[in-house]
Structure formats: C-alpha cells, structure tokens
Structure 1
Amino acid sequence: MAILQKTRPSLSRPNNPLWRAALLTMMLLAPGGLAASTVAAQLPNAELRGTATFRYLGLPVYDAKLYTPGGAPFSWSEDFGLQLTYRRNIKQKALVESTLDEMTRQGNSGMTQAQLETCFQAVSKGDSYLAVSEGPNKVGFWRNGRKTCTLSSPGVKKTFMSIFLGDNTRSASFTRQLKGQ
C-alpha cells in the first residue's frame, strides 16, 4: 500500500471527511437507500415491520421488507409499503405472468396483463420494486426509486398485496416473517 501511496496518492485510504461524506451519500443513493427514502416520502412515519426471503425450490428469488406506520402490526385497514429486492434476473414476461397467476390462484383477478406491463419491467440482480398502498383502491409502484405506475381499481391493494401478505400465500413462513410474527 505504501508503494501505491507514493506512486498514486489518489489510491490511498479515504481519511478526508469530505471523501467519507461523498462515499456515504453514494451508499444512500444505492437502490436500497432509494427505496427506503421513497417509502418515507410516500408513507410518512413508516418503519420496518418485518423481512423475509422468498425461495423457489430452495433458491432465493427476492428479499422482502414490510413497512407499516410506526412499525405497527400489519393491518389491511392501514396503508403500508412492500419492497422486493431481487436476487436474480427475471424477464418482464415472467414477472407479469407469475403475478397474474398468483392473483388468479388466490381468487383475486381483475388486473390485466397490459396494466401490469406498464408497472413491471425486467429485473436484474439487485433491482428493487416498492409498492405503497394509498387506501384500498390504489397502489403506487417504484423501481429502483423511480415511479413506474399507479394501479387504481376497487380493492387493488388486497388483490395485489395478498400475493405476499394474504392468508393463502405460497409460503406461510415467508408471510409470517414478513409480517414480523
């Protein structure tokens, strides 16, 4: 390291407070930081309630975080935020079709493929989607901190969010962990 410092002082360890502040800012602007700040902007007083990793055939697909007002127990009558951070690449078609399949499996149809295609794009490892409810009939979506769409229809909050938080999810243990139970 001493040789590098003599030949390339710019490669030395960042002890400068300005350099450390810039590094911290970059870390906060990473997709996870953007999602957390988006939750705070869209859902005042939101606090992390629970986390869980969804696995398919034992392989991790995404990490989920549930934000509720003040970190209170989950309730369908309150607005909340759900963040998914993907651990693998998934094509838009697979994302949309699996969402439609899960809503249909639970008896909650009503969304169309075209509606979901406006909200969901392909994801790469590390990408995050955030869904924040606005009453029972509206859910806003952000991808890596940028708004992609708002779905508005009667009961859309429960229709969509039941995939992760309903009584008939693919993994009861995932749902319990996500709800912080």
Structure 2
Amino acid sequence: MNKGRSNPVRGRRDCMVRVAALPVAMLVLPQGSTAQTAQATPGGGEQPPDEVRRRRPAARLSGRGTLRFLGLHIYDALLWVENAIDSGNYAAHPLALELRYARSLYGSLIAERSLREMERAGPIPAIQSERWLAFMREAFPDVGAGDRITGLWNPADETSEFVINGKAGKALRDRAFGERFFGIWLGNSTSEPALRQALLGRKAP
C-alpha cells in the first residue's frame, strides 16, 4: 500500500463533507461571520428561469445575494416575486427562491442543516420535525457547481414545491413548513440579515 499517494475520490468526498458540514451548508453563515452580498437592481433586465416563468408569469427579480464563507463561493440566491413583499408577512406572498450552487454539497446534509435553521424561529414538535426532515432528504439531491434548486411557495394552497435544474421535484402541502423554510432567508429570525436585505432588494442599514 502506497501511503504517500492520495486517493482523488476520497479527497473529493472529504472536501464535500467539510463544505457541507459548515454552518453555511446551503443556507446561511454561522453567527458572527460575514456574508458577502450583492444587491440587485429591480427591473435590471434578468429574466426568471423557465420553472418560475411558467408558474409565476408576472414574476420579477426582487434581489439577489452571493454567499461566501472563508473566501469560498457557496451559492448565489435570487428571489423572484410578483409584487413587493411585506417583510413582516412574507408567507402571504407567492414567491420563488432560486439557489445557484458554486460548490458540491450532499443533499442529506443540506436537509439536516435546513431543519436546524428552521428551528431558529422556535421549537418544532418532534413528530413534525421528523416528517419535515424525511421530506427534505427526498427533495434535496446532492449538488455540484452549476446546479440549481428553486423553491416555490404558493400561499393559496399552502404548498412548497422544489424544482431541480428546471425539472419538477417534490412538493409538500404544509403552511407551517413553508413559513419556516422560506423564513430561513426571509424571516426575522434569519442568521443572515444582510442576505435577507439583499434578497428583499433593500440597502443594508
């Protein structure tokens, strides 16, 4: 056995685990760290992806942010809306949150981190927590650079739908889930207020 020769497959897996295990995972940075965000100009000309345009013909770009951790580009987030969002009641508005990944992350770890971020808004009963985690493990695949996950929230039927690289994926009809999940980015309890401001198209205070 040649101990001096590295295994490229194992090296790639270790890298994915280290990045996915960061508190940022797919979502947010740990408290006290800095997200680098870039605010978008509404009406700046960027068109929504097909999955958003088909479901939300009137959608426009509200704002976008680029998230980095220790210099690593994790993802770009874009928020598509039909009308201006009341930030205190974001769940009352149809919206689409598009994540454009720049790195490889494991879907199972994305799901687990998502649940922990959802818990920032308050405790989640164990039965509900287990059901949500099981759903997200099915909904979120492993991703690599260039992959996209778009989450669409429809308050009319209380459904969260996830589209993977333009292809329809899993959906869950559960208002509490939708409020908690999209609240990771848009709720007052978000661990990344700068990213929230960028997505809402507002200047940081």
In 2, Cα distance between equivalents of 1:125 and 1:108: 33
> In 2 relative to 1, CA 108–61 (structure 1 residues): closer, same or farther, beyond 3 Å?
farther
Map of 2:145 onto structure 1: 125
- Summarize deviations over 1:54-103 as a string: whole Å, max 9, x none: 2334432110000010xx32232210110000110001121111111111
Q: With the length of structure 1 as denominator, give the TM-score of the two structures.
A: 0.74
Map of 1:74 onto structure 2: 85
**Greater RCO between the two (CA within 8 Å, min separation 6)?**
2
Map of 2:175 onto structure 1: 154
What pairs with 1:27-106 in structure 2 (closer than 5 Å)? 36-69=49-82, 72-75=83-86, 76=90, 77-106=92-121
Map of 1:140 onto structure 2: 161
Contact persistence 2:104–2:142 (CA under 8 A) = yes
Identity rate, percent: 27
- Summarize deviations over 1:15-60 as a string: whole Å, max 9, x none: xxxxxxxxxxxxxxxxxx8x71110111120011100012334432
Larger Rg: 1
RMSD over aligned Cα, in angstroms? 2.0
Unpaired segments of 5 or more residues in structure 2?
1-46
Unpaired segments of 5 or more residues in structure 1?
1-32
Contact persistence 1:43–1:132 (CA under 8 A) = no
